[in-house]
Structure 1
Amino acid sequence: MLMEKKEYYKHLLPHFQQPGQAYFLTWILKDAIPHHALKHYTKKLQLLKAEIDRFDKGAEVSNLQSSNRGCNPRHPQSPELEALLKEYNFLRKKYIKAYDDMLAVQECGPINLTKPELQQVISEALIFWEGKRIENIAFCVMSNHVHWVFRLKEADENGKPVYLQDIMHSVKRHTANQINKLTGEKGVLWQKESFDTTIRDMEHEYNAVRYTLNNPVVAKLVHYWKAWSGSWCCKEYENAGF
């Protein structure tokens, strides 16, 4: 059964997808963060989203998406709705910070993605759709998670719209199969939920790339991002001075 493609969808968190959009994406191994650890934030985000939905059933998605991208919404907003959107985005930033902090302190489990053969599997998967369905900007493979900055193309090689959920399904399925074969593991490899942020502008893109490439530096694994074998960026950022 084919999954219906929508600009907005959610599992535990809201996700926005649109052909041609750039994203900063993070996804993690299944047990990298305990399931209950961020339940407080997830629940509050869901409650806020439900309130936003009730305020404006016709425009809630576009308003929230516009706010997340840092541009003016296409529909008029009441002060109450603006306050909810502000609270939602503030809480979302706190969620990101807590998420990153927990990843940094978690010990490596039975699968270490920094092993050369596993890094290679992931790197090859991330560049597989390059020029066909995506434009890669940067990525970094860490021991228990992956950061990825890229832009969806408007249409694929067959002229069909390109959606984030399809790209992620393809990458996660392929890497899970290959890594399980290499490690002898079975079952689910990745946590179902991925954390995606729409790139608002070039400054946001620069910051996302800098964060991605400096992840192993901040973790004190290397002194310079280019020394990390699991990192890559496009030519535009190779000499950006991160």
Structure 2
Amino acid sequence: MSNLIYYERYLPHRLPPGETIFITFRLAGSLPQEVLVRLQAEAQLAQQRSAPDVGLRYAEQKRYFGRFDALLDGSTHGPTWLGQPAVAAIVQQAIHYPDRKGYDLRCYCIMPNHVHLVVDLPDDAPPLAKTLQTLKGYSSFQANKLLGLSGAFWQAESYDHVVRSGELDRIISYVLENPVKAGLVDEWPKWPYSYLAPSNADFQSASE
């Protein structure tokens, strides 16, 4: 069974307690539907070809996410509300609120149209799907109120990756370096909407 999941609203989450989870969610309408349909069709075909080989299937899924995230970084389609400081502050508050309650926060990066988040799930954590539903619901309500909007703020789909042993530093680096890769800043600490938990201070020192 794959530990990398791209799920729709009604598909089950496989987010086991005791694991570290890499999560990506995005604004509603941030990518054209035809682009998503093409990406998902390509991903399904690649998974069918690699189905007997767990390592190959995992590599194909990573490639899918890389294409997906690159499209978000370079997208000129749809809203970029998260680039507004007041909206980003709402999302930051929503992310921090469940820390030490629903999850243990490691890092995040709020990009103009999507969010990357890495958390640890304690053994007694409530279902992460429920925590994310509350996080997205609160931030959606507050952001829509601020912007004078109504309707869907977040896209229903999210992307979850159970972090494998040995890849945590790489994923934290990926999250924090996202605005650098997108050409928004030249060093990740200059991006005002990123966060690295104090418990990862060793990583921070190694990255400077």
Q: TM-score, normalised to structure 2's length?
A: 0.85
Question: 1:209 aligns to what?
Answer: 172
Unaligned runs of 5+ in 2: none
Bigger Rg, which one: 1
Which blocks of at least 5 consecutive residues in structure 1 are unaligned?
Answer: 1-7, 52-79, 157-161
TM-score (norm 1): 0.74
Aligned residues: 200
Equivalence for 1:40: 38
Report the Cα distance in structure 2 between the residues aligned to 1:30 and 1:10, rounded to whole angstroms: 15
| Residue 195 (structure 2) pairs with residue 232 (structure 1) | yes
Q: CA deviation at 1:41?
A: 3.8
How much identity, in percent, do the aligned residues show? 29
Give the distance between the partners of 1:9 and 1:109, measured in 2 at CA. 21
The corresponding residue for 1:23 is 21
Whether 1:194 and 2:158 are equivalent positions in the alignment is: yes
Within-5 A mapping of 1:85-234: 85-107=54-76, 109-156=78-125, 162-201=126-165, 203-234=166-197
| 1:36 positional shift | 2.0
How much has 1:86 moved relative to structure 2?
4.5
* 2:21 paired with 1:11: no
| Higher RCO (C-alpha under 8 Å, 6+ residues apart) | 2
What value does the CA root-mean-square deviation take over the aligned residues? 2.6
Superposed displacement of residue 151, structure 1 = 0.9
Query: CA offset at residue 47 of structure 1?
Result: 6.8
28-37 vs 10-19, which moves further: 10-19
Residue 207 of structure 2 is matched in structure 1 by: 241
